[in-house]
Structure formats: C-alpha cells, structure tokens
C-alpha cells in the first residue's frame, strides 16, 4: 500500500495554487512532476561538481564522469539490459527514434517493408515515413478496432520476408491501451524483422525487462518518470548498435580524427556526440531510484484503483464517452482516460476546468490518426500518477459537471 499523503510531500509543485485553487495535476501522460529528491540532485550537480565529462583529469570532471556513468548503470539495471554500453543517452524518446531511423537509412532498400501501428504517437510515425521516402521502402500499418486495440490477426497477415522493421508503442499515450508487445516482437522475429518499442508511456507504470522481451530497441524519456526534461535513453542490442552508423558527428564519438579519415569510438560513445545533458542523465538515474523505492508493483496497483474509480465516476455523467479499452477490470489499459461529452469541444472543457485549478490535456495528443479513426477533433485526457488521490478525482468530476452545465 502507498502512503500517498507522504509521497505528495515529496513534490513541491503539488502544494501550489492555480487560479486561486489547489492544483490538481492530471496531465501526467505529457509530463510527470519532479520530487524534491531529484531536484536536490540537480541543484547538487550545479552547486558542487559542474564540469564536462570523460575529458578532464581534474577532480570535478572525474566526479561528474563517475556520477554520469553510475546513472547509466542504474538505468541498465532498471531495464535489465545485458551491458551498460547498450544504454545510449539521448535528449528523449523522439531523439532515440530518429537515431535508429537515421541508422536504418543505410540498411534498407527499395521494396523492403516496415510496419507501424495505428496507435502511434507522431514521433513513432513521422521518422519512419521520412525513412521510407529516403529508401523506397513501404510503410504498412497495423489497424485498430473500436475498443482502441490493435487487430493482431491483421498484423500477422502484414508480416512477410520483406518486413525488416516493426515499430509499436508499449502503451498508447492517447488511449492508455497496453499493447501485446511480447507477441508482436516474437512474430516479427519469426520473419527476421527487428523491433523498436516506444516505451515513453509505459515506463512510468511498468518496469520493462528488455532481455525477457527480447526487444531489439526500446526507448524512453526521463520527464515521464519523475525526471527532468531533455534527456532519455535508447536501449539497443549490442549487435544492432554496432551495425548502425553514427547519428551525429563531433566530439566524444570519435576514436581518431585526421583530415584523411575518422574512426569512431566504441559503444556507447559512438552515438553520444558532443557535450551531453550531464545533469539530466544523473537526475534520470536519481528519478529511477526514487520510483523503485516506491515500487512499480505498488505504483501499478494504486494507479489501477484510481483508474477504475475515475472511470466509474465519469461514466455517471450523461453523454460522456470514453475512448479505448474498457477500464473495468481490464488488464489492457493503464491510468489514462480519454473522453468527450456530447458535442462539446474538448478545448472548451479543458479551459473551464483549468480555471478551477485542474490540469488536463485536450486535443489530438500527437496521435491524429487515432482521432481520425473515431472521427473526432480530439479528446479531453485525464492521466493519473501515483501521487494523485481519490479526492482529486471527485473534485475533477465535480468541475467537469460544472463545465458541461455551462457549455450545454
């Protein structure tokens, strides 16, 4: 059981007011809040050992390097990667995906096929479209159904010996759907295709085991996991990372440079050109330590209770429709509720509840194909974290009722 009252004290922002009302933050799928324990790590870095890494013999540089590489090992252990150098620091999930898509531009050829799903964030669609335009490969899409789940029989039919890459999110940011990624990975490997899983929305709720999944690439962002913005990771199997060419050229990623020829550094530095977000990487490790102290099983159990409670309360509102899997006892959904009320525009609802101190997301959530499937302009999305409370859900539902009354 979580002591949510104690946990909330770790998050300074939760004590502030918005428009004269206590903040109720229900936009966690966009960015989670940051605990004081992680903020302290950021302040400590800039206060006590701010220096560039890997390059200096002086004390500050060595201290920063040790902390940065210790964070890499923390992340390796969390995701159960076999080797630390299979963890590449990036600026976030989008950067990680682009790094892989850029690398495959030299490996794909005309008439090769790549597969994405209908549930993807734009960050896991656009880079692959760009890759297909460069290489002449064909992009194919796993369709979704009305329940917001992938049609797995159609996925099986799409696979062939032409399939080289499959890209699917672990959890949909727009609907909260948990995809059957283990099955997706196995089927792709049966035809010799590599798989990249976008874990941005999954990592705040579950603890992925990349070796157990046997996934080729897995990507995530710190800011979804109680960490800072501007830093994330790419996990890649060593064999694949060795096949891909460097994404960027510059300092750190080289072994030797002459005007005649440059040779590249070993992993992970081959993909980490320039001065990285040193503080961000260190703070990412601290955020993972914080969440593991609470326990991901505890987090998932509590958030599932919040999800079920909020779903029941929201469905009491006349005309409200929730998109995606049914949350009553479903194991295929995480703590995201995407909904509309009648013909009311989601933006109008979001604007009114903001005046009452409640932060929700409105729009297409960078998942426009999903909105097109349902023939809607967007949704109101309430996304819950382990520091939210049942009382906040009640306040949100009351505010929503007021908004509906005003807008009807």
Q: What CATH number did the domain enclosing 99 receive?
A: 3.40.640.10
Q: Is 366 a catalytic residue?
A: yes
Please tell me which residue in 132, 226, 279, 366 is annotated as part of the active site.
366
pLDDT of amino acid 113 = 98
CATH number of the domain bearing residue 322: 3.90.1150.10
**Both 276 and 300 in a single domain?**
no
pLDDT digits over 308-366, tens only? 999 999 999 999 999 999 765 557 899 999 999 999 999 999 999 999 999 999 999 98
Identify which of 327, 325, 321, 307 has the alpha carbon closest to the alpha carbon of residue 386. Answer: 307
**Both 299 and 388 in a single domain?**
yes
Q: How many domains does the chain have?
A: 2
pLDDT digits over 261-276, tens only? 777 777 898 998 889 9
**Both 124 and 257 in a single domain?**
yes
pTM comes to 0.95
**Both 284 and 320 in a single domain?**
no
Identify the domain containing residue 364 by its residue range.
4-30+295-407
Given 235, 261, 292, which residue is the final one in a domain? 292
**Both 285 and 299 in a single domain?**
no
**Both 89 and 113 in a single domain?**
yes
**Both 97 and 213 in a single domain?**
yes
**Both 71 and 95 in a single domain?**
yes
Low-confidence ranges of the chain (pLDDT < 70): 251, 254, 257, 327-330
Given 259, 292, 325, which residue is the final one in a domain? 292
**Both 371 and 250 in a single domain?**
no
**Both 288 and 161 in a single domain?**
yes
Given 235, 266, 292, which residue is the final one in a domain? 292
**Both 266 and 301 in a single domain?**
no
**Both 196 and 280 in a single domain?**
yes
């Amino acid at each position: 059981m979580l002591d949510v009252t104690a946990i909330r004290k770790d998050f300074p922002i939760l004590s502030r007011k918005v428009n004269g009302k206590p903040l109720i933050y229900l936009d966690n799928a966009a960015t989670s809040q940051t605990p004081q324990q992680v903020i302290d790590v950021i302040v400590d870095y800039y206060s006590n050992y701010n220096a560039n890494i890997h390059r200096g013999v002086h004390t500050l540089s060595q201290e920063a390097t040790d902390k940065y590489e210790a964070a890499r090992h923390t992340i390796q252990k969390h995701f159960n990667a076999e080797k630390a150098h299979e963890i590449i620091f990036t600026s976030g999930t989008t950067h990680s995906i682009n790094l892989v898509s850029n690398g495959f531009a030299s490996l794909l050829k005309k008439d090769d096929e790549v597969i994405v799903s209908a549930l993807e964030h734009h960050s896991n669609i656009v880079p692959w479209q760009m890759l297909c335009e460069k290489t002449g490969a064909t992009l194919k899409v796993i369709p979704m159904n009305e329940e917001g789940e992938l049609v797995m029989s159609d996925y099986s039919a799409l696979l062939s010996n032409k399939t080289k890459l499959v890209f699917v999110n672990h959890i949909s940011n727009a609907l909260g759907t948990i995809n059957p990624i283990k099955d997706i990975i196995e089927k792709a490997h049966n035809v010799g295709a590599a798989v990249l899983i976008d874990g941005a929305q999954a990592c705040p709720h579950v603890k992925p085991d990349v070796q157990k999944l046997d996934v080729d690439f897995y990507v995530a962002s710190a800011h979804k996991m109680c960490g800072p913005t501007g830093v994330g990771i790419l996990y890649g199997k060593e064999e694949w990372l060795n096949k891909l060419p460097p994404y960027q050229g510059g300092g750190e990623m080289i072994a030797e440079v002459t005007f005649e020829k440059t040779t590249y550094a070993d992993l992970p530095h081959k993909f980490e050109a320039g001065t990285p977000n040193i503080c961000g990487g260190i703070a990412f490790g601290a955020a993972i330590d914080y969440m593991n102290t609470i326990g991901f099983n505890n987090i998932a159990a509590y958030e599932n209770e919040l999800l079920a409670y909020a779903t029941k309360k929201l469905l009491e509102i006349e005309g409200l429709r929730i998109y995606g899997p049914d949350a009553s006892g479903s194991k295929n959904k995480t703590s995201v509720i995407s909904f509309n009320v009648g013909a009311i525009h989601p933006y109008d609802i979001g604007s009114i509840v903001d005046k009452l101190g409640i932060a929700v997301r409105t729009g297409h959530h960078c998942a426009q194909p999903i909105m097109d499937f349902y023939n809607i302009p967007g949704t109101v999305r309430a996304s819950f974290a382990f520091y939210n409370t049942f009382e906040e859900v009640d306040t949100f539902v009351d505010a929503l009722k007021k908004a509906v009354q005003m807008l009807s």
